Amino acid sequence: MQLSSFLVILILAGTAVFTAGCTQATGPVLPSTPVSGTVSALKDLAFGPADLPACFSLAEQHVRSSGDVGTLARDLGWQDGYMVTYSCPAEGPDPTVIVQSLAVYPAENLPGIAFMADMQDRAFDANRTYENLTFPGQDTALRGFYGRSIGAQDFGISPGIPGMRGGGDVPEPNAVSGSDVAEIIICRGTTVEVLKMSGPGTNVTLLKDLAGKALAKIP
C-alpha cells in the first residue's frame, strides 16, 4: 500500500464506524456492485456445526446487504457479506458466543481494512485492556487481540495473556469475565473475515484453531 493511502486510513480511523466486518480508506471510491455468485461463495466459507465444539449451536445466519453496512464501507468497494453466530449453551444466561463475519472487498484494500478493523474494535470498549495475539509460523494474513475486562482477577499470572495459565491459551477457571473478548481478523485474496468470541468461555486456543480452519477454506 502506498504511504499516502496509509495516511488516509489513519485520518479516517478516528471517525469511521466499522459496520461491515472491516473498513478502511485507500485509493479512489470504488463501486459496490455485488459480484455474481459471491454470496454463495461466502456461505461455503462460513462455519458449519461440525467445525465447532459440540456445545455450540447455530443461533443466527444471514446475508448482509448494502443496506446493512455504512457509507464508508460501500465507498471502499464492499461487495457482499455473510454472517453466522454460534452460542454455547444454546439457551440460558451468560452464553459464550462466536461470531464469524465475512465480506468481499477489492484485494488491494485488504491490508488497510484489517488495520482499520483492529484499531476500531479495540477502541469499542474503554473498559478493557488489550493484548496482541501472536501467530508464530502461521500465515501473515492473521492478526488479532485478547480484550480483558479492567478489574478482572489475573491471579498474578504472567507473562502472557491475562487470565491464561502460564502464558498459555487455556483459560484459568474464573479468571475471565463475561465481557472478555478475543478477536482474529483474516484477510486473503478479496475475502476478509472477523472471528469474535465473547463470554465466560472465551478461549484463545479454540479461536486460533477456528481461524486456521477459516483460512484453509479461502481459495
Contact 152, 109 (CB under 8 A): no
Lowest mean pLDDT among 98-107, 117-126, 149-158: 149-158
Could you read off the pLDDT of 12-33 as tens digits, one per residue? 332 232 333 343 333 333 333 4
Output the pTM of the full model: 0.72
Residue 116 has what pLDDT? 85
Residue 20 has what pLDDT? 39
pLDDT over 60 (residue 127): yes
Share of the chain above pLDDT 90, in %: 42
**Which residue shows C-alpha cell 472471528?**
195
Query: pLDDT confidence of 215, banded at 50, 70, 90?
Result: very high
pLDDT over 60 (residue 141): yes
pLDDT over 90 (residue 118): no
User: Where residue 13 sits, what CATH number does that domain have?
Assistant: 3.40.1000.70
* Interval 41-65 mean pLDDT: 94
Residue 90 has what pLDDT? 77
Query: In this predicted model, which residue has the larger pLDDT, 93 or 173?
Result: 93
Contact 86, 57 (CB under 8 A): yes
Residue 151 has what pLDDT? 61
Residue 37 has what pLDDT? 60
The arrangement of strands across the sheet holding 191-198 comes to: 57-64, 80-88, 96-104, 191-198, 181-188, 142-149, 128-132
- Mean pLDDT taken over the chain: 73
Q: How many helices (H) and strands (E) does the chain have?
A: 5, 7
CA gap 111, 83 in Å, rounded: 21
Residue 192 has what pLDDT? 93
Most confidently modeled range among 9-13, 33-37, 76-80, 210-214: 210-214
Q: Domain containing 129: what range?
A: 3-217
Domain count, the chain: 1
Beta-bridge mates of residue 96: 88
Query: In this predicted model, which residue has the larger pLDDT, 134 or 38?
Result: 134
